[in-house]
Chain A
Amino acid sequence: MLKTQQIALAAAMLLSVTGLGGRISFAADGPTDPQIVGIVLAADQIDIDYGKIALSKSKNKQVREFANRMVTDHSAVQENVIALADKLGVKAEDSPTSSSLKSGAADITQKLKELRGKEFDKFYIDNEVTYHKNVTDAVDAVLIPSAQNGELKAALQAAQPLFLKHLEHARSVQSGTGESMSH
């Protein structure tokens, strides 16, 4: 029954978590624990890289603060995930999901490098909103239900508020896009 639910959720995710912020698609049978670690590390690294680009290009105070926070927080998550994987003896594995995340990120990165000024800020924040929405959906609907190891599942559950706060933060910066975004 549980497996059936997971397949249904994974199938739903295949449809629902695609978009501007990077495609997140899953195999029908759900990711294994090593694949989950690989997906989380890839997702974290992608957002760290986006943040570094924003810090190098944006002059907007809100955008820079947000980007700085993404680099700091996702770096902390990376360290914790790596430490937990070491402790559990789980070696991160690539999967179709992590590969699709990376290929989606390559397109976004290219676009981020091309844009300037307000256009850059808007694209970066819009992407962050979509990306974090996709990640929180994926963590809830696929990664947590698929995790077999109890500690890994607990770590994903503990990390979920972080992604939700980032999503709220991104939305608050997004809502300030325009008048309050001065250069």
Chain B
Amino acid sequence: MTCDEAVRAIEAMLDREIDDDERMQLEAHLAECETCRRETEERRAFSDRIGRDLNDAFPPSTRATPRIVIRPRRSNWVRAAAVILVGFAVGYVGSSTGVFRPASAEAREVAKLSALKDAYQDRSRELADRVEREATALDTRAAQAPDGPRRDAVALCVMKVANGMAGADALELPPEPEKRARKVAEYMSTANLARRGLAIQALRTLPATDMPLVERQIVNLKGTNRTFTELYVLSFKSPTEPVVVMELNGGDLRFTQLANATLRVEAKTASATAAAAPRIYEGLNMLEFRARHPDISKLLDLKGSDGNFTVAGVTQRATAVQCRPVAYMPAVVWSGQERESGRIVEALSVHAVMAECARAGGTVEEAERQGLEVMRRVQEVSTTVYGSVTPDPERVRYHLTRVRNLDSAGLALTRERLHDDVAALERRVIEWQGRLECLHQAAVTLDYQPK
């Protein structure tokens, strides 16, 4: 979309008459074009002003002062004029007795809904701006942080937000593997979150044979983009050989952790037949296993994180276990906005802090303590209140001047449409709040200092 096209689309958007396709193109353009973003605000202000001034010029109370016109040259219409006169009289009496004025309860409800819609649109825009701003700031800070589990966690959180902003259009990739790897890297390296989201989704469609080419592009990336791509490539290399294998409980339980952090417990069943298959419990990594299988974890007295844990009172340290959170990637990045992200980001933060503690030589107990501590701090962020969305009384009055002339059928139709619009906007605001929350939680993890 060119700037000229964007300007016309901006007007349609401000008039709430833009279709979804055009809106997406416009949003992509606005994300990149500072001039058009300014233009949007200027045109919004101008349009509001026209609406306000025109409505001020015709306030409801000064309208409808019908005059009686004597039209001698149309004597055959005197009868008709008399009918109108009656109409005016009805209108006047109605207005003076309050039958037709002030605005009906229905009109007030529609005006209130219109103002609520405006408020949701304002909140949505405000949150979108904040998400872009804060993601950029967090990106810069993460790029300056040392390589390590916490930087990995922040990269996954930022990319989760970017993934949610990608929209429905897919990035068109050239057929040549090298060119498509380059195009993905090019989109991945932009500051714009929606474009990075497109790159993330394109990355998922690449075959495993493209990964060496993607890996070669990593040198062209920096900050969280680089970290995320490294993690993605790593997930393809993920080694699967067993690193820790333990027989427990007289051979009834077999505990295994693979090099890619996958954890598996096989439990012999108490079946009469010796050939009965063992029951298998699996998790993507230690923390995921503990969350998914609390009973067996309690039975084994499982504590700690990947490669640094105690099981049945025995401490295990295995540096060969992959501690980078590749196992979390599907849960964190690929999950849609409808999924609750808070718990996943929380787990990612705990994982990062515990892994860092283990890397620094900390004990399992110390890692557990720090993990709990960072979880509490992240949970405090998730309870942040963003404030309710309420209609501005000024806007209610403004909309009242626009809708009070609608008849009851028109009001009912408008009310239905507004209910749908408000519900859709409410969902959008919740999505933006979720993204902002995710970034705030990532910031807490990045800044975490153990007591």
Same complex: no
Chain A contacts to B: CB under 8 angstroms = none
Chain B contacts to A: CB under 8 angstroms = none
